[in-house]
Amino acid sequence: MQGIVDFIPTEKKIQYLNLLLKVGFDRLDFGSFVSPRAIPQMRDTAEVLAGLTLDENPQTKLLAIIANERGARDAAEHEAISFLGFPFSVSETFQLRNTNQSIAQATDTVLRILEVCDRSDKTPLVYLSMGFGNPYGDPWSAEIVAGYAEKLIGEGVKHLALADTIGNSSEQSITSLYSFLSSTFDQVEWGLHLHSTPADAVNKIRAGLAANCRRFDTAIRGFGGCPMAKDELTGNIPTETLLAQIEATGLSSHLNEKAWADAMTYSWEIFR
């Protein structure tokens, strides 16, 4: 929702997220504790959280995005939140654009977030943003990505998501880089946060599945993208596309199909 200009009413967000909670996803990225000046769409995250029916749907863990230590402290005050997600970029330019920090400063921020999580019994999840390259000319290689991953893991990060922030990954790069990272650093949980045009989404999912990825970040109907990355948004992988590919490979999502259909129908009230 963060890139949508028109403010989505809080009650609509609550109704939509409560429908998603009934589906049975493992995690739900429900909001962001960030500056309302930077991301005005997320200014009501605390109010949205208060309206969620969590007792009825305990299987789904809530994840909140944060951009600094203050956001981590604000999110940590809410017992219902399980995961705090921080976008760490392997591109200096994007780190500055996204969180107004250098990579060195972001590294220090991760350390302070880890301390907040340890005190509040939260789980930190770090996204390796611009994980497949960047449009700014900043240095990139698989070795650079692995170097940052090794550093973060050494500091205590146990959940990492390789993020294709601008949709520039390919089938080959997804399979090779994810396989390399997940086998080299097999002591942590890895996931994929892919952006894509609709035409490329299926092939990117297949590449991730072929690399044995079993944790994908998606968005219903593919709405999303990072407004801090480029002037135009490249959407997230559509959840429905992922589910269709899971079924096609003979795997099971173990989701509530009736609840999923209800959430899909209501999504037209949110994303027009």
CA 238, CA 241: separation in Å to the nearest integer?
5
pLDDT tens by residue, 2-14: 777 789 999 999 9
pLDDT-above-70 percentage for the chain:
96
Contact indicator for 184, 160 with CB cutoff of 8 Å: no
Query: Average pLDDT in the 34-43 region?
Result: 90
Distances (CA, A) of 225 to 4, 23, 111: 10, 23, 27
| Assigned token pair, 238 | 């559509």
**Radius of gyration of the CA atoms of the chain, in A:** 17
Domain 10-270 has CATH 1.10.10.10: no
The CB density around residue 43, as the number of other CB atoms within 10 Å, is: 16
Give me the residue spans of the domains in the chain: 10-270
Q: Is the pTM of this model over 0.85?
A: yes
Q: How many CB atoms lie within 10 A of CB 137?
A: 8
Three-state SS for 154? Answer: helix
Per-residue pLDDT reduced to its tens digit, 205-259? 999 999 999 999 999 988 765 555 454 446 889 999 999 999 998 888 889 999 9
The span from the CA of 150 to the CA of 86, in Å, is 16
pLDDT for residue 118: 98
Tokens of 104: 């060195």
pLDDT tens string 106-152: 999 999 999 999 999 999 999 999 999 999 999 999 999 999 999 99
Contact between residue 24 and residue 255 where contact means Cβ atoms under 8 Å apart:
yes
d(CA 64, CA 75): 7
